[in-house]
Amino acid sequence: MIVPCVVLFSLLALSQSANPCCSNPCQNRGVCVTKGFDQYECDCTRTGFYGENCTTPELLTWLKITLKPAPATVHYILTHFRGVWNIINNIPFLHNAIMRYVLMSRSHLIESPPTYNGHYGYKSWEAYSNLSYYTRTLPPVPHDCPTPMGVKGKKELPDSNIIVEKFLLRRKFIPDPQGTNVMFTFFAQHFTHQFFKTDHHKGPAFTKGLGHGVDLSHIYGETLDRQLKLRLLKDGKLKYQMIDGEMYPPTVKETQAEMMYPPHVPEHLKFSVGQEVFGLVPGLMMYATLWLREHNRVCNILKAEHPEWDDEQLFQTARLILIGETIKIVIEDYVQHLSGYHFKLKFDPELLFSQRFQYQNRIAAEFNTLYHWHPLLPDTFQIQDQEYTFQQFIYNNSIVLEHGLSHMVKSFSKQRAGRVAGGRNVPAAVLKVAKASIDQSREMRYQSLNDYRKHFLLKPFKSFEELTGEKEMAAELEELYGDIDAMELYPALLVEKPRPGAIFGETMIELGAPFSLKGLMGNAICSPEYWKPSTFGGQVGFDIVNTASIQSLICNNVKGCPFTAFHVINRETAATINISTSNTAIEEINPAVLLKERSAEL
């Protein structure tokens, strides 16, 4: 009888010491606050719900819930009925109203000002004001909970090595059914490195980034010291070198702006750009070179328009123009492709001027985690008639010079990227990164997948089979985790069943889109104070922003204006819209005409 009694008393002690908020009793975004060691109360303020656990809807809330279609239904409507959407896209007031709703409904899911961070699971001035932290969407699981996910699941999470090897490791390359290409893959990696900058010396809760958004620090450098090293300090331009008549980044030796290169890389191939890691792969250096050329091109235009301006004003104005170009490309090309919508997304800050909207942003740790899209990477990289393995590709800037940007753009536009959702598609070469994502998530004590789904107004999964859409992985996951409410966020995003014919599952889109749109539209240049021609050097600069696209970026900076997009193209597609693939001078091809023809073809 002694042993059972000991066990009983141990269980009683555990139940008494456990934080009552570990079970996440407060629903519908209610906030759990402990009262003593074994009591809690739910703060339901402005949630639209009331009751002990914020589960009873107010009348207006009930009506909204009743009338609101499920995310899957909305997605189906937006990705079907092309003819109807073509009509809506051409009715300005209707199109604008829908776009405004898209922006506001997504952005309002992101807390602004920020609420929590990796060390503060309650509101505090430190969590709000300390920019060295990533913010947190949900507070960390308390240390004194019975299980790593609160109260559900097993006492210990499964070995992360087992998770990556059984569920994430690629057996055979699975192409993305949406037709995402490698041009998109490197854009995603290049673009996000300006705000995903984990400080690995401090830990995964911390960021080295100061801007927490689209500030183009990956082009201009995070600090003023690095920026000045990269600047020509004449006519607003960045330093560059000319090789075979084309502009490329300067070397580390010339700028003294250090980069992360292994010792074997020769000095003349150690290109120096804003983000110190961009020497890693030629795809990143391709985009770094494109934006270098674009910055200096814009400076030439501004100099002609404003001969009275000094170097500083030319530089600062060109930077604002490039920020505007980036946001427009991300919304109208990048997010448009990912969405698969027939509804045409539009970058128009004026849509929000009459709305309650805060022009600030903080990068969330969860956003950083979900953006690890390594399944996009193919097994090898094909440029012209050459194929490069990962080992041949990394730290090899000679590829950029050997092939040139024109051939890189053509080749990456035609090569298909991998599907992200569905599991078992992470290349072996980057498996360590996937494992680190799981380990860091555990260190950050992320709440479960279902907790995040509920926070973003999605129904929690009832089973592993509902999550994966099949039986084999579902059974293995259930054996390892024990309970669907204990399933971890990051591996769940990669094993979740994709939406029909899509690159992602529902959770990735419904969590990622709010972070993305709030971060883009919360930029200072989108505010009423900034969004006017004078901010961008007059109408000429404003027009550069308002006509930007991935195609115009290429046409203005790459010989021959090779046709590109974020989805795979082929020679037949290019031929149908009369795209020249010869070395025609860039200015001979009108991007506006090209894009009009492409739109008609689609």
pLDDT tens figures, 436-478:
999 999 999 999 999 999 999 999 999 999 999 999 999 999 9
The closest of 333, 406, 429, 444 to 579, measured between CA atoms, is: 406
Give the Cβ contact number of residue 179 at 10 Å.
Answer: 17
First to last CA, the chain: 77
Q: How far is CA 320 from CA 325, 467, 562, in A?
A: 9, 42, 26
pLDDT in tens, 368-405: 999 999 999 999 999 999 999 999 999 999 999 999 99
- Alpha carbon distance 313, 309 (integer Å): 6
SS3 of 63-126: HHHHHCCCHHHHHHHHHCCHHHHHHHHCCHHHHHHHHHHHHHHHHCCCCCCCCEECCECCCCHH
pLDDT of residue 210: 82
Report the percentage of the chain scoring pLDDT > 90.
Answer: 91
pLDDT band at 589 (very low <50, low <70, confident <90, very high): very low
Residue 28 φ/ψ region, left for φ over 0, alpha for ψ in the -120 to 50 degree band, beta for the rest: left
Q: How far is CA 57 from CA 52, 62, 194, 403, in A?
A: 12, 6, 41, 61
Query: Is 371 considered catalytic here?
Result: yes
Query: Is 119 considered catalytic here?
Result: no
Residue 7 scores a pLDDT above 80: no
pLDDT of residue 581: 34
pLDDT in tens, 554-575: 999 999 999 999 999 765 445 4
Contact (CB, 8 A) for 249 and 285? yes
Residue 584 scores a pLDDT above 70: no
Query: Of 134, 371, 452, 490, which is the active-site residue?
Result: 371
Whole-model pTM?
A: 0.92
Average pLDDT over residues 249-255: 98
Beta bridge partners of 34: 40
SS3 135: strand
Residue 304 scores a pLDDT above 60: yes
Contact (CB, 8 A) for 519 and 358? no
Q: How far is CA 451 from CA 120, 459, 498, in A?
A: 18, 10, 20
pLDDT of residue 18: 81
Residue 506 scores a pLDDT above 70: yes
Of the given ranges (168-182, 207-221, 233-247, 440-454), which has the lowest mean pLDDT? 207-221
Contact (CB, 8 A) for 167 and 195? no
State how beta strands 39-43 and 116-117 pair. Answer: unpaired
Q: Taking all residues of the chain, what is their mean pLDDT, rounded to a whole number?
A: 92
Average pLDDT over residues 60-68: 95
- Alpha carbon distance 300, 232 (integer Å): 13
pLDDT band at 271 (very low <50, low <70, confident <90, very high): very high
- Alpha carbon distance 277, 265 (integer Å): 14
Of the given ranges (85-89, 121-125, 207-211, 309-313), which has the lowest mean pLDDT? 207-211
Query: Of 190, 193, 218, 403, which is the active-site residue?
Result: 193
pLDDT in tens, 162-188: 999 999 999 999 999 999 999 999 999
The distance between the two most distant Cα atoms of the chain, rounded to a whole number of Å, is 93
Residue 577 scores a pLDDT above 50: no
- Alpha carbon distance 197, 217 (integer Å): 11
Beta bridge partners of 136: 116
**Amino acid of residue 383:** I
- Alpha carbon distance 308, 314 (integer Å): 10
Q: How far is CA 15 from CA 11, 18, 376, 443, in A?
A: 6, 5, 45, 24
